[in-house]
Amino acid sequence: MTDRVIDTNIVTVVGEIYSPSVFSHEMYGEGFYTFEIKVPRLSEYNDILPVTISERLIMDLDMNIGTVVKIEGQLRSYNKYVDGKNRLILTIFARDMSLCKEEVKNPNYIFLDGYICKPPVYRSTPFGREITDMLIAVNRPYNKSDYIPCIAWGRNARFSEKLKVGDHLKIWGRVQSREYQKKLRDDKVETRIAYEVSISKMEMSDENNKAAQ
């Protein structure tokens, strides 16, 4: 049963270790660490993504900044109490990590099989680009779920705009980081980083098997 659930959330990223590993927490006597990985896009921009990993997976690995690694795992979410509010925190939970010495055609891949849990929000950018924001719930063992922000573009955005809470979707894309400006009290502005899935392909899991690509 576990394998079936894991198959609903698959992430593979290849990139350089971007920050030192820092102890995060301990669970059942096993220590977990966090660090950031720099993953290249087709453009010159890089996504800086957070990773959580067990101490046993990094015990014999070179964890120096700049080391190129391949990470396979899941994109997970949890709530963190920050400044009096609950914030949704995303991290790539590594199930395997290895050194990577060869060029990889697709260094950033994610597959999700989940359900829309908030009404999609359609909008357009000042440059006329169509975007739909969605929040997808993906089930995992022990009655837990991960809540993953996703962005659809263009034709996929128009398709997503009509979807409803509870609709079952399969999504393919990449995990991306994005800076944004958050207005605080006293007219102060703070730069923050959001993590989300940029959708390249999506498919409805229903009898009609509607698809948008």
* Residue 7 predicted with pLDDT over 60: yes
Q: Are residues 135 and 94 in the same domain?
A: no
* Residue 141 predicted with pLDDT over 50: yes
Q: Output the six-digit token pair for 18.
A: 């971007």
| CATH code of residue 197 | 2.40.50.140
* Residue 211 predicted with pLDDT over 50: no
The confidence score (pLDDT) of residue 137 equals 97
E strand or H helix at 48: strand 46-54
- Last-in-domain residue among 53, 83, 110: 110
Range of the domain at 145: 111-212
C-beta atoms surrounding 14 within 10 Å: 22
Q: How far apart are CA 155 and CA 5, in angstroms?
A: 29
Task: Give the 3-state secondary structure of residue 184.
Answer: coil
Q: Are residues 190 and 123 in the same domain?
A: yes
For the segment 162-190, the average pLDDT, to the nearest whole number, is 89
Residue 196: how many CA atoms within 13 Å on its side-chain side?
17
* Residue 1 predicted with pLDDT over 60: no
Do 37 and 49 form a contact (C-beta atoms < 8 A)?
A: yes
Q: What percent of the chain has pLDDT over 90?
A: 72
The confidence score (pLDDT) of residue 192 equals 84
Q: How many domains does the chain have?
A: 2
For the segment 79-83, the average pLDDT, to the nearest whole number, is 77
Q: Output the six-digit token pair for 38.
A: 């720099």
Q: Are residues 105 and 146 in the same domain?
A: no
pLDDT band at 32 (very low <50, low <70, confident <90, very high): very high
* Residue 208 predicted with pLDDT over 50: no
The confidence score (pLDDT) of residue 206 equals 64
The confidence score (pLDDT) of residue 209 equals 45
Q: Are residues 18 and 104 in the same domain?
A: yes
Q: Are residues 88 and 162 in the same domain?
A: no
Report residue 168: phi and psi, to 5°.
Answer: -100, 125
The confidence score (pLDDT) of residue 38 equals 97
11 vs 128, 131, 155, 163, 166, CA distance in Å? 31, 23, 24, 24, 23
Q: How far apart are CA 138 and CA 114, in angstroms?
A: 4
Q: How far apart are CA 92 and CA 111, in angstroms?
A: 13
For the chain, the maximum distance between any two Cα atoms, rounded to a whole number of angstroms, is: 53
Q: Are residues 97 and 127 in the same domain?
A: no
Q: Are residues 119 and 103 in the same domain?
A: no
The confidence score (pLDDT) of residue 163 equals 95
